[in-house]
Chain A
Amino acid sequence: MLVFAISDKGGTGRSVTSSNIVYRRALQGQDVCYLDFDFGSPTVGAIFRVSGAARGTLKGGLHRYLEGEIAEPTRIDVWVESDRDALRSKPPGAGQMVLFPGDEGGAEFPTFEGEMVERCVRLFAKLQEQFDLVMVDLSAGRSHAALLALAATARLPKIPCRWLVFHRWTRQHILAADGLVTGTHGLLDAGEAHGHHRALLADRIRFVRTAVLDPGAAELDGLRDTQKTWLSEFDRELRELASRHGVGRTSMLGKVPLDPVLQWREQLITDEDVQGTMIANVETVVAFDELAKKIVDDAAWEGL
C-alpha cells in the first residue's frame, strides 16, 4: 500500500509522525519503507539517525533517480545503518525498514514531465512488490512532488493508496488543512486534473492531528482553573470549526498528543525512550501504534 504524508503548513510534525508510524508498522512485523519526497529539505535521515544521509545522500537519492540520472535510488537499511543503538538491531519478528533519502543539495522540482511520471510509476510499482507499506513524505504545501505523486498514482489504479493530511490543532492549521484538500488547486482539484476520480480520491484522504493538547490530561493539573476552562472551551470551538470544514472526527484517522521530545528533537520514539529513560510519554507511542494499524485497517477508511 502507498501512503502519502502531506501538510499545508510546515512545522506540523508531518515527517516525524509519519516516520514513527513507519517504525511502529515495522515493529508490528510488516515490511515498510520511507521515501523522502521533501526534495527542498531532505532531513529524514536525521529522524532515523542515519549519519550518512542526515541532509540527504550524496550517493544518488530519489531526486536524481526521478531526474533520470541514475537507474536506482539509494536505499538505506535502517536496522543496519542507523547510529542509534536501539534501532541498530532488528527485533525478532519485525519487518524490513528501508529509507529512500533525497539528495543532499537537492531542490524542489520547478516542474515535472512525462518521463519523470513514468519513473515514479515504476518506482512505486516496484516498492509495492516488496513492501507492505510504502510511506511517501511530501513537502509542505502544494508542491510539484505532490502533483507527481497524484499523476503517478492515477496510473496505478490497482495499487491501494491513501493520503494523510497532517495539521496542528489550531484555527489556522484546520483552515489550511481543509484548503489543501478542497481549495482551488488543492489535492482534489489537482487529482482530478491528473486523472483521479474526485469522489474516490476524497475517500482516500484522512486527517491526522498533531501536537494535540488534551484538556483533560493529567499533566495539565498544574494549570489554573481559568486556564483549564478556557482550554476546554477553545477545544470545543476548534472541534466545531473542524467539523464545519470537513476536518472533523469522521475524516480524522488519529491524533498524536503533544510530546516535549517531539517538539525539541525530531526522532523515532523507541520503547527505551518510554520505559527506560522515560523522556517520552507512553500515550505518544500508543497513538503512533494505533495510527500504524489504522492506516491499513479498511474499516477506518470506509466511504464518508
Chain B
Amino acid sequence: MLIMGEVRTGLLQNSAEVPESDLSSVLGLLAGERVRISRRPILHALSPDLLTGVDCLLPSAAQAKIRGVGTVVSRCSITGGRVVQSSSYVRVTKAETGHRLPWSHYLARPGVIEVLGKAAAADLADGFLAFGLPGEHLDVGSISDRLMDTVQAAESLDRASPFRSTQTRLRWVAASGEPGVRFVLGEGVERRVRITYEGEFSTAVLDLCEDLALHDWLLTTLLVIVERARIGAAPRAEVSARLAPAVDALLHLWMPGARIHPSLAPLWESLELAPGFTRQWQSLVERVRDQFAVNTLALLLRETNPV
C-alpha cells in the first residue's frame, strides 16, 4: 500500500495571533463536528476530517493511464494562532473488481483510493512527487489549497497579516518498511518527503509530515525575512524594523517533534542530523537577536555620547 499526500503551510491572514476562543470558528469547516484544541506544549487546533470524492487518473512517472476511485481525506490546523496548514492524503490500494462500484462502497473506506487495473507503487510515488506531470491527474494539492482558502476567508480574520509570506507545498509518500525519512528541498516552494514506517499506517505519519512542513515553512520564512533585512547594508533602525515581525510572530513557534508519536521520533532525529533543521534555525535566531542587541547598544551609546 502506498500513501501519498500534500501539506500546504502558510501564515494565517490576521494582524494578531488568533486567540484560542476564535480557533473553533475559524476551523469550523464542518457543521456539527468539533475542532480539537490542545494547549501544551503549543496552542494547536485541528479541524475535523473532510472527504472529497474522486474518480480520476493517478500521476504515473511512466505516463501510464491509471484510474483510481475513492475519497481524499483533508484537514486543517492552526499552530500558535499564526500558522495555518492544510493537509490532504490518500491511501492507494488495488480494487477487487475492474469496474467502479456504487459510492457507498468508497464512502465506507474514507481516505482510500482503489486502483482499477494495474499500478506499481514506485511509479505512482515518482509520478506524484514530480509535482504536476502534464495532463489531468489527481491533485491533492488543489484540495488542500481550496480548504486553505476557505480558512483564510473566515469572518473573524482581518486579512491584515504582519508581513507578506509565501506558502510552501510539501508532498510526501509513505510505505511500510525499514523506518526512514528523506527530505528534498525543491526549487521554489516545493518539498518532497519519502517515509518508510514500521507496522500499520496510522495518522501519526501524517502528524510527522505536517510537523515537518510546519518547521520547514518557519525556516524558509525566517530565511527570507533575514535576507530581506539587509543586515550590514541597510541602516540599523531599518534592519531592526524589518526583523521585528519575525520576533513578534515566528521565533517562539519552533518546537520540532512536539506533536509526534514517540515511535516516529527517531525519524525527526535523523532529519536533525542532516539537513539539520534546528541547527540552521538556531543560528538564524541568534543572528536576529544579535542584531537587536547591537542596535540597542548603538542607541544607548548615542544617548550617552551625543555627537
Contacts and interface: CB of A to CB of B under 8 A. Distances in A.
Contact of B159 (A29, A130, A131, A159): A159
Contacts of B141: 71
A122 interface: yes
Interface string B12-28: 01000000000000000
Contact of B152 (A125, A131, A132): A125
B139 interface: yes
B164 A125 contact: no
Contacts of A159: 159
Interface string B60-79: 00000000000000000000
A267 interface: no
A122 B230 contact: no
B296 interface: no
A204 to B, nearest CB: 17
Given A129-B10, A129-B13, A29 B228 contact: yes
B165 A130 contact: yes
B159 A125 contact: yes
A125 B10 CA distance: 13
A93 B234 contact: yes
Contact of A129 (B145, B165, B233): B165
B245 to A, nearest CB: 13
Nearest to A95: B228
B30 interface: no
Interface in A109-161: 122, 125-126, 128-132, 156, 158-159
B158 interface: yes
B149 A122 contact: yes
B258 interface: no
A71 B165 contact: no
Nearest to A31: B164
A158 B142 contact: no
A92 interface: yes
Given A29-B228, A93-B228, A129-B164, A158 B159 contact: yes
A156 B11 CA distance: 18
A130 B164 contact: yes
Interface string B128-158: 0000000000010110010001001100001
Nearest to A77: B188
A159 B228 CA distance: 24
Contacts of A130: 164-167
A29 B229 CA distance: 10
B160 interface: yes
Contacts of A129: 10-11, 13, 152, 161, 164-165, 167
B169 to A, nearest CB: 11
Contacts of A92: 230, 233
A101 to B, nearest CB: 17
A209 B141 CA distance: 44
A125 B161 CA distance: 12
Contacts of B164: 31, 129-132
B142 A71 contact: yes
Contacts of A31: 164
A93 B159 contact: no
Contacts of B145: 71
Interface string A31-52: 1000000000000000000000
Nearest to B150: A122
A159 B13 CA distance: 11
A130 B152 CA distance: 13
A167 B128 CA distance: 49
A264 B11 CA distance: 44
Contacts of B167: 129-130
Contacts of B142: 71
Nearest to A156: B159
A126 B141 CA distance: 15
A276 B152 CA distance: 46
Nearest to B233: A92
B78 to A, nearest CB: 15
A15 to B, nearest CB: 24
A128 B233 contact: no
Nearest to A122: B149
Contacts of B152: 125, 129
A71 B233 contact: no
Contacts of B159: 125, 128, 156, 158-159
A168 to B, nearest CB: 34
A67 to B, nearest CB: 15
Contact of A125 (B11, B149, B158, B165): B149
Interface string A54-88: 00000000000000000100000000000000000
Contacts of A93: 228, 230, 233-234
Nearest to B141: A71
A132 B165 CA distance: 10
B160 A158 contact: yes
Contacts of B230: 92-93
16 contacts: A71-B139, A71-B142, A71-B145, A92-B230, A92-B233, A125-B159, A126-B149, A128-B13, A129-B10, A129-B11, A129-B13, A129-B164, A129-B165, A129-B167, A130-B165, A159-B159
Interface of A: 29, 31, 71, 92-93, 95, 122, 125-126, 128-132, 156, 158-159
The 8 closest A-B pairs by CB, nearest first: A158-B159, A71-B142, A93-B230, A122-B149, A31-B164, A130-B166, A130-B164, A132-B164
Given A93-B233, A129-B13, A129-B165, 7 more contacts: A92-B233, A125-B149, A126-B149, A129-B152, A129-B164, A129-B167, A132-B164
